[in-house]
Structure 1
Amino acid sequence: MWFPRFKQAFCALTLPWILAVIIQLAARAYLLWYYGSDEVLAGLSADVKRMFWIGGLFDIRVASLLFVPCLLIAGILAINKTSFTVWQRFWPLLATILSLFITTMAVGNIFYYATYERAIDIFVFGLIDDDTVAVLKTLWSDYPVIRGILCLVAFAIILFKIYRRWQHQLNVRPLRPAGPLVSVILTLVILSVGFVGMRGSVGTFPLRQSDAQISEVKLLNMLTPNGPIAFSWAYKAYREYGHFPQAPDNQGSELLSRFLDNPTPAGLAPFMATTASNPIARSQPPNVVFAVMESMGYYLQSYDRPDRDLFGALRSHWQTDWRFKRFIAEGNGTIDSLSRFFVRSPHNNISQSTAQFTDFASNMFKPYLANGYKVIFVTSGNGSWRNLNQFLPHLGVSEFIEQNGLKSRYPEAQAGTWGVPDEFMFRFIEDRLAQAEKEGEHVFIMSMSTTHHPPYKTPDSYKKTEITLSEAEQNRLSNLANGGEELQEVFHTLRYTNDQLGQFISWIKSQPLGEHTIIAVTGDHNIRGIGYPNANELAISHAVPFYLYVPQAYRQNSHFDEQRVGSHKDIWPTLYQLSLSDTPYYRMGCNLLAGNLDDNWCQGYNPEVVITPSGAYTLIGKGEFHPWTGKEGLLLANPQPMTSKQTKLLNRWQAFTPLLSWQLNRQVHGLK
């Protein structure tokens, strides 16, 4: 008789499950009706349908996460008639509590959106972190608290009666036994459906936060997640990214004095600098395109051979334009590098944290905004990844374009695991530069590609070229891929992204706007899955290129030397000096094109290693100095005893990592 009891429990819980989905769907529909004007939603019927579809999957996931465990408990209790009788009496109360929770979260999400024009997020925990009494007083004065509680209580009473009545209807029906085979099959079907419902997806990944980015319209993206899901994301962000230590003066003074090798009082003033006078940039501000390429690392590109083309259309530009060969990524992952690019944050998750709306002095877009530039960010990936769609507009990005926007502009773009193919990102940048040229704008465009990322897959339309690797090369890359087609696809995506980048640069150079458009390219990090076990590969493990195309008119006072060392921190000062005149900026690196390099800032930095013209210093462990093995390349020799000058330089850069954290915390806490 176990299965008939289990089936009755399934039928009983189906009602609150359906109501949970309906309640969340109704809340979403209400917000759309109330805030979605005809002007906002004009021509977006497909996006609205997608919002309800993905939102409905979120609703199903929440309902399943709450009620499938209840069904499993009922299945255990159904083994015994007495225990199942207890279940029959108890579940209406349990279902009422869970339904009330869902309703409360739905209502809370409605009021949260009404206040902040976004779904519940990390700032809901201001009730705890801010003046709790003051927040509660605000809630009391601004919202119908008493009426809302009374309505929820009344709703709970009604639900409880409905659920008890439903159980009574089930009790009067006789429990009919089923054959063993039918019982097993139906049980497996019910549990399988429940499992899929809890995932919200039958794909590789369960339904996740990035799936909520379904449109270029913020309203639709905000309405896609329901209250419980939005709250769960907020809680995770608060738990992981909610704490920023204080930045006391004594700590700051000690770190600044160590790094600058000179007694320095605490403050942000040592980070402030001003670009030199640049008459051509003042009279004709250039467009600036800064392309960050996924996993564009030094190591894998070294597999290029005359008979193994890994560059495509990029090759000619790579060989003739400016490119620094001893250059490393500052971050050790995509968001790590981007956080440092955006606001000089060593805190990987600054864009998701409680500090995401800080007015950062280190906002690296500010110098361009101060000079009237329109700042645009384009990615072939999903805009909700790491909350960038909320974070970057706060920093002054006036146009944020991601995979959904690219798909709407270019219907042939097909999204993969991490986004649409990079070619559509570059196509948009071309269109946007042409528009800027026509309208007399000067624009700063930063882009982030995604195609060269596991699982590796080139677009079906891309013509692949055979990549032949020796057995030794395949063994060296065995950690990256299992050989055969999988390793081939790694190189195919690398060549594809390089080729698309090269075609984009070629297009700019062929246009009149190429005479006043500067292009900078780097990788977010070296490709990681390879593994770099040898100490002599420490610098290589972080090595990425830094490429520059600078029109002739903007090269005045520039001194290019491909052997100069650097890292991500040096890209911004170099671009500022090329494109801006007499403009203050937040300095944490050096201009690599300066006639005389600044010894304080001009070394390549990563939290694990610092590279200099003479070799590299390890920042992990006790710290060592490794000279280069030759005049070119990034291979390191065995460690050597350090001179007093080298020891001082190591001590300086060992202070830089905690100094980065200190200056960020200083800004977060509003100290100058």
Structure 2
Amino acid sequence: MKFSLRTFGRHLLGALASATLQAWVMVLCVACALSLLRVGQIAWHWPEGLEVSLADLWSVVFQGARFDLKVCAAAAILLWPVLIIVPARWHSWLTGTVTLLFVTASLVNLHYFGFYKTPIDPVVFGFFEDDTKAILQTIWSDFPVTLTLSVLAAASWGAMAARKAAYDRLSLRLNRGIGDRLIPVWLTLLGVLCALFLLALTTKGTLRAMALGRQNVSVTTSQFLNDMVPNGVIALKFAWDGRKASQNFSDPLLGLKQLGYDSPMAAARVLGIEASDNKALRASLFAKGGEAPSAAGKPHKNLLFFLMESWSAEPFRYQAKDFDVLGRLAPTLAQACHFSNFDSAQPGTHPSLEAILFSTPITPLTLGPQGKRPIPWSVPLILKQAGYHTLFVTSTRSGWRDLDRVLRTQGFDEVVDANNLKAAYPEATLGIWGVWDSYVFRYLSERLKKKEDKPLFVFVLTATNHPPYDLPPEYQRIERNQAKWGGERNADTLWLNIDSYHYATDLLGGLVQEVRSGPQHANTVMAATGDHNVRSFGLYATPERRHLVSQVPFVIWGDGIDCGPQRQLPASHRDMFPTLLPLLGINSGFVKTGRNLLLDPAKQANPALNAPFSMNYYGTARNARGSWTLGDPASFVCSPGPAGADCRFDAQQDAWARAQLGLLDWNVRATLRH
């Protein structure tokens, strides 16, 4: 019996030591593979003109390696008990699976950054919520799939082969030492315990109280380099945390706390908002009338609003006779209010759509129960209650993200999508993302000629200016002086994208000209913006280009509109409907997400709520001096211009921005949590 127990104990000790050695060898080999992939990612995406110090590069590689060790150690701890239990012949399969998954995640992160200019974020979950087939078709046509699979195979095989070679050599010595009793039992046990302790410490990533986390990603002043720090696994973990927070309506203070405020009243005090309690504070976030000049008492005007797919602001800068990117839109700008220093709320189409229509920094909002009942401040619902007939028109399929259901619930009387347009125009072809945008503008042209009993609110979402940048066969590509393009040229789809950009913008310009020269001109306000910037136009990584990273146009056309002094001041999507609705005589009921861009901010009573800065709903802001991540003074990057010595982080403006964003978040969570 003694012999059996002693034998069992020796086998158990050997299994513990072997599993611990296997775990550590896997950690080191896979972490090395991830670090090498990071170096490759930096080289693959290196922006033209970016110059950084060797010390900054080393900081990124070193910090990235810490994250690599962290995620590999976490996987090893989870795998360790399994390695003890299962037969040794399965160990290579188990560690190989981890290797393959981690390398795949890093390669996904590489291409995700190329597309969205950010490491993997919550938008990634749209792969399953969007038209997955269309996304896969786009990936196949627009990304180096064969090269990526080759790198995946090589990196995974290299890490697995290195693990096997190292483990075979070390385990042979370990087993010989334990079997021949050259290593005492107590020393073997101590070694296993120390190795497990170090594994747990590596999972934490630091000796300090706070574990290595999102706050440790920023190690340089270059946003590009900081974006290279997370590997695919840790970026996916951050995205999952963000996704969970967006779906957590049990704690209305969640967003406020993340932005540095422990209560809504604390944020209100920073903004100079006087309110006796939370109910009064929530009421103060809504427009009450009498706060801006309006068309009150006059018949309501039609409002045509265009959310143009990937409609970046940068091409506007290079428009010329021999470099035509705007087509028929160009001559309309002289009679328009063009806000040329303007940012999108979010980096994706659906997040921006929700931000604009539902005044929410939380996304996805309407995929859960919150989308199944009317949101009281929904823009189409407010306009419907004001007597408008509300119409949503898109060249894509409205089943995308469940929009066909959500849009009707939130106040749209009609939803016209690619399927409706195909039925109306049988010659239309259904492509990856829907029908060509030309059918949207043809439908609108015909619809606007019909007599309506009510004023119209039309929200238009285009789709053609999207990878893979296909265009209808009848589109005539135009010659351009390519030297006039003043931006980056790294993307091989740049000129295809310029053509699809011109195609969509020219169609918009044609409709604007038609309406502005027709009988409805005095009775119609038109506005257009982009949902987000586009990847083909660059990474905007150099300091002199960083301010362009989220810029989209915002243009308003209408009779008798005084454009005011803010056309070159920083602004963003949150400022659009506080600007447009008063033009229609609607001065109450909507969330005051931002400021009215037609007014002089210097003449407004509350400077905190009217300060000329731009804010993204994912936590970045920009003023005339530079841009920064909210709450992080070290992230401040100066913008080019006359700021000079004044180029510095403004702590007060940062506090205002965090308070405004926090209160918008709180309003959504507190109101829609039941």
**Shorter-normalised TM range:** 0.5 to 0.7
SS of residue in 2 equivalent to 1:542 = coil
Residue 593 (structure 1) aligns with: 598
Task: List aligned pairs for 1:454-465, cutoff 5 A.
Answer: 454-465=467-478
8 Å Cα contact 2:543-2:638 kept in structure 1: no
Residue 457 (structure 2) aligns with: 444
Give the distance between the partners of 2:384 and 2:666, measured in 1 at CA: 26
Give the distance between the partners of 1:471 and 1:280, measured in 2 at CA: 42
Give the distance between the partners of 2:252 and 2:135, measured in 1 at CA: 47
Task: List aligned pairs for 1:387-426, cutoff 5 A.
Answer: 387-426=402-441
Task: List aligned pairs for 1:83-232, cutoff 5 A.
Answer: 204=137
Aligned-partner residue type, residue 599 of structure 1: P
Say whether 1:531 aligns with 2:539: yes
Give the distance between the partners of 2:294 and 2:577, measured in 1 at CA: 19
SS of residue in 1 equivalent to 2:525 = strand
Q: TM-score when scaled to structure 2?
A: 0.58
8 Å Cα contact 1:328-1:539 kept in structure 2: no
Could you say what the CA RMSD is over the residues aligned between the two structures, in angstroms? 3.3
Q: What is the deviation of 1:252? A: 2.4
Change (3 A) 1:432 1:240: farther
Residue 482 (structure 2) aligns with: 469
Change (3 A) 1:323 1:356: same
Report Cα offsets for 1:627-651 as digits up to 9, x if no partner.
54326xxxx8799445xxx312212
1:669 to 661, 668, 673: 673
Identity %, equivalent residues: 24
Change (3 A) 1:328 1:242: closer
Aligned-partner residue type, residue 534 of structure 1: T
2:445 to 424, 430, 435: 430
Q: What is the deviation of 1:667? A: 1.6
Residue 336 (structure 1) aligns with: 351
Q: What is the deviation of 1:576? A: 0.9
1:580 to 585, 591, 595: 585
Q: What is the deviation of 1:653? A: 1.2
8 Å Cα contact 2:307-2:460 kept in structure 1: yes
Task: List aligned pairs for 1:243-642, cutoff 5 A.
Answer: 243-247=248-252, 251-260=263-272, 265-267=277-279, 268-276=282-290, 280-435=295-450, 438-470=451-483, 476-478=488-490, 481-482=491-492, 486-529=493-536, 530-552=538-560, 555=561, 559=564, 561-595=566-600, 596-597=603-604, 599-602=607-610, 603-606=613-616, 607-619=618-630, 621-622=632-633, 625-626=636-637, 628-630=639-641, 640-642=647-649
Change (3 A) 1:491 1:239: same
SS of residue in 2 equivalent to 1:204 = helix
Give the distance between the partners of 1:200 and 1:297, measured in 2 at CA: 26
Task: List aligned pairs for 1:60-79, cutoff 5 A.
Answer: none
8 Å Cα contact 2:392-2:459 kept in structure 1: yes
SS of residue in 2 equivalent to 1:418 = coil
Residue 655 (structure 1) aligns with: 659
SS of residue in 1 equivalent to 2:615 = strand
SS of residue in 1 equivalent to 2:304 = strand
Task: Report how many residues are paired.
Answer: 425
- Contiguous gaps of at least 5 residues in structure 1: 1-198, 207-237
Change (3 A) 1:275 1:624: farther
Report Cα offsets for 1:239-259 as digits up to 9, x if no partner.
997542321596322333334
Residue 52 (structure 1) aligns with: none
Aligned-partner residue type, residue 445 of structure 1: V
Report Cα offsets for 1:9-57 as digits up to 9, x if no partner.
xxxxxxxxxxxxxxxxxxxxxxxxxxxxxxxxxxxxxxxxxxxxxxxxx
Q: What is the deviation of 1:279? A: 7.3
8 Å Cα contact 1:313-1:499 kept in structure 2: yes
Give the distance between the partners of 1:203 and 1:610, measured in 2 at CA: 33
8 Å Cα contact 1:378-1:400 kept in structure 2: yes
Residue 7 (structure 2) aligns with: none
Aligned-partner residue type, residue 413 of structure 1: A
Change (3 A) 1:374 1:201: closer
Give the distance between the partners of 1:462 and 1:201, measured in 2 at CA: 22
Change (3 A) 1:432 1:304: same
Change (3 A) 1:627 1:489: closer
Aligned-partner residue type, residue 658 of structure 2: Q
Give the distance between the partners of 1:665 and 1:203, measured in 2 at CA: 34
Give the distance between the partners of 2:637 and 2:138, measured in 1 at CA: 43
Give the distance between the partners of 1:535 and 1:262, measured in 2 at CA: 39
8 Å Cα contact 2:593-2:664 kept in structure 1: no
Residue 121 (structure 2) aligns with: none
8 Å Cα contact 1:352-1:386 kept in structure 2: yes
8 Å Cα contact 1:361-1:586 kept in structure 2: no
Q: What is the deviation of 1:516? A: 0.6
Report Cα offsets for 1:480-511 as digits up to 9, x if no partner.
x32xxx43221110111110000010110121
Which shifted more, 494-503 or 410-419? 410-419
Runs of 4+ aligned structure 1 residues displaced above 6 Å come to 199-203, 238-241, 261-264, 471-474, 636-639
8 Å Cα contact 2:621-2:628 kept in structure 1: yes
SS of residue in 1 equivalent to 2:529 = strand
SS of residue in 2 equivalent to 1:290 = strand
8 Å Cα contact 1:352-1:387 kept in structure 2: yes
Change (3 A) 1:619 1:422: same
Aligned-partner residue type, residue 137 of structure 2: T
Aligned-partner residue type, residue 269 of structure 2: S
Q: What is the deviation of 1:410? A: 1.4
Q: TM-score when scaled to structure 1?
A: 0.58
8 Å Cα contact 1:241-1:353 kept in structure 2: no
8 Å Cα contact 1:326-1:565 kept in structure 2: yes
Aligned-partner residue type, residue 614 of structure 2: G
Aligned-partner residue type, residue 441 of structure 1: K
Give the distance between the partners of 2:518 and 2:305, measured in 1 at CA: 18
Aligned-partner residue type, residue 593 of structure 1: L
Q: What is the deviation of 1:461? A: 1.0
Q: What is the deviation of 1:592? A: 0.8
SS of residue in 2 equivalent to 1:512 = coil
Aligned-partner residue type, residue 607 of structure 2: D
Residue 16 (structure 1) aligns with: none
8 Å Cα contact 1:241-1:352 kept in structure 2: no
SS of residue in 2 equivalent to 1:498 = helix
Aligned-partner residue type, residue 629 of structure 1: P
8 Å Cα contact 2:373-2:410 kept in structure 1: no
8 Å Cα contact 1:300-1:527 kept in structure 2: no
SS of residue in 1 equivalent to 2:468 = coil
Give the distance between the partners of 1:304 and 1:544, measured in 2 at CA: 15
Q: What is the deviation of 1:663? A: 1.8
8 Å Cα contact 2:422-2:428 kept in structure 1: yes
Q: What is the deviation of 1:470? A: 4.3
Report Cα offsets for 1:590-640 as digits up to 9, x if no partner.
111124345233332113432334544442643555554326xxxx87994
Give the distance between the partners of 2:136 and 2:338, measured in 1 at CA: 41
Q: What is the deviation of 1:519? A: 0.3
